[in-house]
């Protein structure tokens, strides 16, 4: 069974540009979460999508947005890039069964974004 696939793996952008990252979850997983990881802040929750709806959102500015498609694939967009947006962006998928149990998240390899 294929794992979580994130593309691209590496990206270099300049300040002010925008970027779109893609995540394909494990087949059958309907929940996709996005995280930003930096050495100083650790793993910070961005948002979570389930059945094309954003269910949870972390404390990030509106420049960070996302969406989920009917096949559960998700994209994350960052507009007006800032130097501080340089980070590893991780996507995780889970079954998210009802009853709030068994929500193990499986991570993709991440997209390393560098803003110059």
Partner 1 sequence: QKEVEQNSGPLSVPEGAIASLNCTYSDRGSQSFFWYRQYSGKSPELIMFIYSNGDKEDGRFTAQLNKASQYVSLLIRDSQPSDSATYLCAVNNMKTSYDKVIFGPGTSLSVIP
Using CB under 8 A as the binding rule, whether residue 116 contacts partner 1 is answered as no
Residue (55 or 63) nearer to partner 1, CB: 55
Q: Which of residues 32-61 bind partner 1 (CB under 8 A)?
A: 33, 35, 42-43, 45, 48, 50, 55-56
Using CB under 8 A as the binding rule, whether residue 72 contacts partner 1 is answered as no
Residue (3 or 79) nearer to partner 1, CB: 3
Q: What is the DSSP string of the chain?
A: ----EEE-SEEEE-TT--EEEEEEPPTT--EEEEEEEETTTEEEEEEEEETTEEEEE-S--TTEEEEE-TTS-EEEEE-S--GGG-EEEEEEEE---GGG-----EE---EEEEE-
Using CB under 8 A as the binding rule, whether residue 110 contacts partner 1 is answered as yes
Interface residue list for partner 1 (CB under 8 A): 31, 33, 35, 42-43, 45, 48, 50, 55-56, 90, 92, 94, 96, 100-110
């Amino acid at each position: 069974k294929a794992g979580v696939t994130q593309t691209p793996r590496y990206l270099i952008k300049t300040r002010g540009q925008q970027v779109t990252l893609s995540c394909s979850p494990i087949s059958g997983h309907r929940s996709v979460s996005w995280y930003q990881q930096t050495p100083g802040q650790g793993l910070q929750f961005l948002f979570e999508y389930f059945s094309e709806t954003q269910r949870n959102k972390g404390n990030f500015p509106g420049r960070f947005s996302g969406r989920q498609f009917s096949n559960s694939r998700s994209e994350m967009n960052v507009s007006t890039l800032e130097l501080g947006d340089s980070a590893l962006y991780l996507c995780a998928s889970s079954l998210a069964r009802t009853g709030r149990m068994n929500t193990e998240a499986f991570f993709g390899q991440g997209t390393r974004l560098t803003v110059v």
